[in-house]
Amino acid sequence: MEIDEVERHHGYPTPVPRNRTARTAVLGVSVRRPADGKPSSRTSAALRRRLVVGSLVLCSLVLVTLSFRDTEDGPVASAQESVAAVLSPFQVAADRVAEPFRDAYAWSSSLLDARSEAERLERENETLRQLVAQGELARRENAGLRELLQFRDGPRFPEGYTGLATRILSRPAGAFSQMIVVAAGRNDGVEVDDPVVTQDGLVGTVSRVGSRTAQVRVLTDDQSAASASIPATGAYGVVRAGRSPRSPLRLDRVPKEALVRVGDTVVTAGSRSQRLLALYPRGILIGRVTSVGQSDTDNYTQVQVTPFAELGSLEAVLVLLPQDRGER
Amino acid sequence: MSLALRIAPLVFVAAVVQVATISGARLLGAEPDVLLVTVVVIALLAGSVVGAATGFAAGLLVDVMTLGTLGQTSIVLILAGYWAGRYGETTGRGRRYAVPLAAFAISLLATVGAVALHVLLGEPVSARTALVSLLPSAIVAALLALPAHRLVRFVLSDSAPLVRPRTIEIA
């Protein structure tokens, strides 16, 4: 049914031309249609539009191809560099103009992030502090072990022994305990009474052995004793723990007639007979004589000795293992 | 003054600002693209052909200034300008949210297209980086589009008619 027939049937007025179609009824306007078979202006506009876009995309693809195929000093690259050089002042100017704004933005964002940044840095600082402490410990330990190795391979190292370098696991817990624990035990060949030294001098003897650890009785312990001599004068005695903190060791049992001077070096006496073996090999440095005194009532000279080894701050020690242990 | 002469400085300034100051900057996780927004806004106001031509010129300018592969940015911006122009000529005409909506959608598509183009050309590109900033960048583009639209409309105001309406003859 035609639209105007519908309108006439319902009695509606007919304000639009009678030759309109359903499309014109919807739009409410009459669309001019080309009389001949040529494409409409809309179609040609769409065609032109697509042609322009296609040409531009094609141009871009050609440029991409040329750019890819061109060498670094080729014509395209040279032209590009020349134009870029011309444009660079504008870029520099824009950069300079934008710099304060960029700085302001960076400053404001840094303010916003300051709290979380401070917390992060604090955590990082804590971690770094721990690492530094660990590194310092490792460095000291490394230096100590290196010195021990030099001592072991040097001429002062006692003959007939091998040195087992080991770390200190625990130090004396208090003034009444002069025991340290080292990280070597039965599995490493350590036995009770093995001498323990550093590159500086005598430390003590092994008093107890576990499978992987060993307890060492330091020279400053009341139960320690080491036969010692003063090579410069030939005096002999027994080194024991001192009676005051200022004199950690004393050289006991030195006859009054023996010559002992302040500054003399005290070393281990070692064995003087094959039947009675000493705990310590001969010639290990013990300490230096700091005072010599005699009284009429004493039978022996009172000799105070300061140990060469830093017994209070040991990092690593050498446990001396007799080479003939397997034969015994 | 002709339309081209009014658009040229806009595109030039936007390209220089983009390359020299904004490129590489991150704003709340987004990488603002002032040039893309400018092309989109010009296309919405001046039509698809002008938009595509503007995109071509803008892309070429960027590629020259950054010494990049010539034509690479142009392809993306031509399509962005064309799509924005078509949207402005048809569906988006007279719509209140056409400008931010077009900027948002075209920013998403342009980023994906740029990544795809880089991959096709065998250039190393971090898709993850691009995709992470995809949504924030599109939101920033939508926000930038409104003031950019006002500015561009002001600059191009004497060049009317910008987007030509369909020729309709009323009897």
Per residue in A182-234, pLDDT tens? 889 899 999 989 999 988 899 999 988 888 888 898 888 888 888 899 988 88
Look over chain A and give the mean of its residue pLDDT values, rounded to a whole number. 80
User: Is A87 within 8 Å of B21 when comparing Cβ atoms?
Assistant: no
User: Of A18-27, A107-116, A205-214, B86-95, which gets the smallest average pLDDT?
Assistant: A18-27
Q: Is the separation of the CB atoms in A151 and A318 below 8 Å?
A: yes
Residue B80 binned pLDDT confidence (cut-offs 50, 70, 90): very high
**pLDDT recorded at residue A156:** 80
Give domain status of residue A271, yes or no.
yes
pLDDT, tens only, B61-74: 988 888 888 898 99
User: Is A87 within 8 Å of B16 when comparing Cβ atoms?
Assistant: yes
What is the Cα–Cα distance from A195 to A320, expressed in whole angstroms? Answer: 5
Residues of chain A contacting residue B19, judged by C-beta atoms under 8 Å apart: 91
What CATH number has the domain bearing residue B150? Answer: 1.10.1760
User: Of A25-34, A127-136, B4-13, B17-26, which gets the smallest average pLDDT?
Assistant: A25-34
Q: Using DSSP, state whether B93 is helix, strand or coil.
A: coil
Give the residue numbers in B contacting A (CB under 8 Å), as ranges: 12, 16-17, 19-22, 25, 27, 48-49, 52-53, 55-56, 59-61, 63-65, 67, 69-72, 74-75, 78-79, 82, 121, 166-171
Q: Is the pLDDT of residue A98 over 50?
A: yes
Quickly tell me which residue has 């704004």 as its tokens. A101
Give domain status of residue A272, yes or no.
yes
Read off the tokens for A132: 């530094």
Number of compact structural domains in chain B: 1
Give domain status of residue A65, yes or no.
no
Give domain status of residue B142, yes or no.
yes
Give domain status of residue A308, yes or no.
yes
Q: Using DSSP, state whether B81 is helix, strand or coil.
A: helix
Q: Going by C-beta distance under 8 Å and a sequence separation of 6 or more, which residues neighbour residue A120? A: none
Burial B77-102 (b: 16+ CB within 10 A, else e): bbbbbbbbbbbbbeebeeeeebbbbb
User: Is A29 within 8 Å of B169 when comparing Cβ atoms?
Assistant: yes
pLDDT, tens only, A64-94: 888 888 877 788 888 888 888 888 888 888 8
Residue A16 binned pLDDT confidence (cut-offs 50, 70, 90): very low
Give the mean model confidence (pLDDT) for residues A237-263.
85
CA-wise closest residue to A245 among A151, A303, A175, A298: A175
Residue A3 binned pLDDT confidence (cut-offs 50, 70, 90): very low
Give domain status of residue A7, yes or no.
no
pLDDT, tens only, A285-308: 999 999 888 877 778 888 999 998
CA A316 vs CA A79, A142, A307: distances in Å? 71, 9, 16
Give the mean model confidence (pLDDT) for residues A121-148.
86
Number of compact structural domains in chain A: 1
Give the mean model confidence (pLDDT) for residues B147-170.
70
Give domain status of residue B129, yes or no.
yes
Domain range holding B127?
3-154
Domain range holding A258?
161-322
Q: From the centroid of its chain, how far is CA A290?
A: 43
What CATH number has the domain bearing residue A287? Answer: 2.40.10.340
**pLDDT recorded at residue A92:** 83
Minimum Cα–Cα distance from B85: chain A residue = A49
**pLDDT recorded at residue B162:** 52
Give domain status of residue B165, yes or no.
no
Quickly tell me which residue has 């494409």 as its tokens. A39
Q: Is the pLDDT of residue B166 over 80?
A: no
Q: Going by C-beta distance under 8 Å and a sequence separation of 6 or more, which residues neighbour residue A128? A: none
Count how many residues are written for chain A: 328
The whole-angstrom distance between A168's CA and the closest CA on chain B is 51
CA-wise closest residue to A226 among A325, A320, A323, A297: A320
Residues of chain B contacting residue A56, judged by C-beta atoms under 8 Å apart: 52-53, 55-56, 74, 78
Give domain status of residue A242, yes or no.
yes
The whole-angstrom distance between A119's CA and the closest CA on chain B is 21
Q: Ramachandran region of residue B154, left (φ > 0), alpha (ψ -120 to 50) or beta?
A: alpha
Give domain status of residue B160, yes or no.
no
Residue A20 burial (C-beta neighbours within 10 Å; 0-12, 13-18, 19+): buried
Give domain status of residue A25, yes or no.
no
- What φ, ψ does residue B9 adopt, rounded to 5°? -65, -35
Q: Is A59 on the interface with B (CB under 8 A)?
A: yes
